[in-house]
Amino acid sequence: MKKSFLVLMLTIIVSAASCSFTTKVENDPDKDKLLIDLISYVLGKGHYDAKSINNDFSKEVFVDYIDALDPLKRYFYQSDIEEFEEFKELIDDEIRNKEIKFFNLTYERLQHRMMQARRLHKEILEVPFDFEKDESIDTDYEKLPYVENESQMRDRWRLQLKFNALSSYYDKVEAQIDSLTKNSNYKRKTSIVLESEAREITKTSLKEYFEFADDLERKDWFSIYINSIVEEFDPHTYYFAPQDKDRFDIAMSGKLEGIGARLQKKNDNVKVIEIISGGPAWRGNRVEVGDLIMKVKQEDEVEPVSIVGMRLDDAVSLIKGPKGTKVTLTIKKVDGTTDVIEIVRDVVELEETYAKSSIVKKNDKTFGIVNLPKFYFNMQDYNQRNAAKDVKQEIIRLKEQNMDGLVVDLRDNGGGSLQTVVDIAGLFIEKGPIVQVRTKGESPEVLSDKDRNILWDGPLVILVNELSASASEILAAAMQDYKRAIIIGSTQTYGKGTVQNVMDLNRWMRSNDFGDLGALKLTTQKFYRVNGGSTQLEGVKSDVVVPDRYSYIDIGEKDQENPLPWDKIAAADYTAWDGYIDFNQTITNSKERMAKNSQLKLIDENAKWVSQKRDINTYSLKYNKYKANIAENEKQAERFEAIDDYKTNLTFESLPYEKTLMKSDSILSEKRSRWHTSLSKDVYVEEAISVLEDMKINNIRRSKNPLTLKN
């Protein structure tokens, strides 16, 4: 795979160089035009299934872009749309001619309409809402027409703001009833006062919303335009503006360099909302959740820089920095005092990104569960910490506890590195192909585990759901095709059978006077199971299907716009695992248990009910009707409360090394406690352990292949 991709990259880079993509071209000095030109060229040359950029393409971009700018239809007027429609079939021509007239028109009009909306919402929120008036709001914004005039726009805003305020008003009325019940001396507030307070909450929310909008610069809106273009190729092709690329790298590696705190813009201030366990801020024990960062000073600067009113992204770029460098923060503490704190930046690992494991006890047996949130890796250096290394280490630790079976939990795992999948799959089989990867116009390449050693050849179950995607599907599919594991979960997984590569656009520039151009995540390949079938659209169908909360919600690849089609290639040469006895009978036993399980029946009913509620788009804005609707929903929801009351007979405990860490890390202790509590109520984990109990191992095979550790 690496070789074919390098050939593709070399071809594109040489071609790009011959086309002279450079900021020195006199008739193309604008960065936006340069980005459009460069990205459209790369898409045409590098995308696995490049689309023709024609009038039909233009019309699709037009619709998606306008919807992205104004999804609630509370800015643009019908007259704006009619004016924009002049470009409906011209976007393709603008791309070819490196023109951005359409973007300029929409951007300037949106800014103008947002200014009008600021005035409108302030005027509306100065007048009390009448919650006795019998009117309703339709929240199916996609089907709503655009307004014709300011009067209609005012009414649209009024209904949305009233809907928001009504929710707060209801909460306040209910809270007052509770207070009066508990305390006869409680001073009752009038409905007029409660309505005013609810309106103030809405005012604050809108103020914060528009402050966020004010932080957006022209380049941010242009990124929306570019992505409306690139996402027409498929749902996973995406343009990353420079700071978005940084976030993507952090998400994939689970690491960042900085002080180890999560920040949020609150009014004009930058607020600390979480201290990351183990990071510099956590170790220093002087920065607290709720603190406001007022000023930032680098170690080579004399004066600090005020970040009050600064864009959050810009503030974060000042606070974070390379490992070993110093930053001094002027902080307003929760108690109102001011403190100046010097912090030495460090590599911060986002613990929730990484694999974690637990010992599971049932009767006199010990099992292990490994939860893998994503297939993470370092994009600059694969040899650094990655999912495969961590999963291997967790299995070694679980084996030291003499586990009898292993559950790998891939639920909600959206994927990641292909290589980590191959390495993890190799922990469970002797050797053989894991996945087939196909680049456009080339024969499929087979990625194989070539190491005959097996780390774990005992009973294995893999848990999946509708959000298990991409790399998760490769691992589940390989283990299913080899009959190495039993897959328990949704009817099918997400259905993402495509491979993306992130291309740094700056590397293609001979010179660059515009700064960082960002990167393009581009679909370059498709992957296939070892049996030849694609996971695209169809996903992996579980051996044992169980209902969950997503069962009746359209969230898979097939429900996205512009997905690539399903297809099939020849099977790879592989031999199914023969280490189990009564493999199919174990699946049958599980299906029978699941069919009789009252908890799963309740979960299924709840999933249907949630789906039905999602289809409701019209809500009354009259208080009595609104209250009655909530009461009816709560009454229906009561029968599902037993879902949270469910308790298995399993017990969970951390591995010895984590118990040692917890002595000095209360945050880790609390996180594991919450996880174990959740697992103890998890009917899917309960069934996975039951399946492990049923899975009988061929002892002759095990004696031939003793458990060994992969080097």
> Count of residues for the chain?
711
Q: Note whether 262 and 274 are within 8 A (CB).
A: yes
Q: Please list, in sequence order, all residues whose beta carbon lies within 8 angstroms of the beta carbon of residue 344, skipping any fewer than 6 positions away.
A: 280, 324, 325, 326
Give the Å distances, CA to CA, from 350 to 258, 265, 460, 662.
12, 21, 28, 16
The confidence score (pLDDT) of residue 290 equals 82
- As a 3-state breakdown, the chain gives helix, strand, coil percent values, each rounded to 5, of 45, 20, 35
Pick the CATH number of 353-704 from 3.30.565.10, 3.90.226.10, 3.40.50.1700, 1.10.760.10: 3.90.226.10
Active site (catalytic) residues: 470, 481, 496
Q: What are phi and psi of 238, to 5 degrees?
A: -155, 140
- Helix (H), strand (E) at residue 420: helix 418-425
The confidence score (pLDDT) of residue 684 equals 96
Here the contacts of 635-640 (C-beta below 8 Å, separation 24 or greater) are: 636/609, 637/609, 639/602, 639/605, 640/602, 640/605, 640/606, 640/609
Q: Which two tokens stand for residue 567?
A: 């297809």
The confidence score (pLDDT) of residue 4 equals 47
Residues 19-72: tens digit of each pLDDT: 444 433 333 347 888 899 899 989 998 999 999 999 999 999 999 999 999 999
What is the Cα 178 distance to its own chain's centre?
38
- Tell me how far apart the alpha carbons of residues 444 and 561 are, in angstroms, rounded to a whole number: 26
The confidence score (pLDDT) of residue 399 equals 97
- Tell me how far apart the alpha carbons of residues 89 and 403 are, in angstroms, rounded to a whole number: 63
Q: Note whether 42 and 503 are within 8 A (CB).
A: yes
- Tell me how far apart the alpha carbons of residues 649 and 587 are, in angstroms, rounded to a whole number: 22
The confidence score (pLDDT) of residue 511 equals 64
**Could you tell me which of 575, 549, 530 has the C-alpha nearest to residue 434?**
530
Q: Please list, in sequence order, all residues whose beta carbon lies within 8 angstroms of the beta carbon of residue 567, skipping any fewer than 6 positions away.
A: 526, 534, 536
- Helix (H), strand (E) at residue 418: helix 418-425
Question: Quick one: CA torsion of 414, 417, 419, 422, rounded to 10 degrees?
Answer: -10
The confidence score (pLDDT) of residue 25 equals 35
- Tell me how far apart the alpha carbons of residues 74 and 114 are, in angstroms, rounded to a whole number: 9
Rg (CA), the chain: 28
The confidence score (pLDDT) of residue 621 equals 96
**Domain boundary assignment for the chain:** 52-232, 255-349, 353-704
Query: CA 387, 539, 372 angle in degrees (round to 5)?
Result: 20
Q: Confirm whether 255-349 and 353-704 share one CATH topology.
A: no
Average pLDDT for runs of 10 along the chain of length 711? 43 39 41 89 92 96 96 96 97 94 96 95 95 94 95 96 92 90 88 94 87 86 94 93 70 71 78 79 84 87 79 82 88 80 83 89 95 86 87 97 97 92 96 94 92 93 96 97 96 94 81 76 94 96 92 88 94 93 93 94 91 88 94 88 91 95 85 93 96 83 44 33
CATH architecture observed for domain 255-349: Roll (2.30)
Residues 217-244: tens digit of each pLDDT: 898 999 999 999 999 999 999 998 887 7
Q: Please list, in sequence order, all residues whose beta carbon lies within 8 angstroms of the beta carbon of residue 270, skipping any fewer than 6 positions away.
A: 263, 264, 292, 293, 307, 310, 312, 315
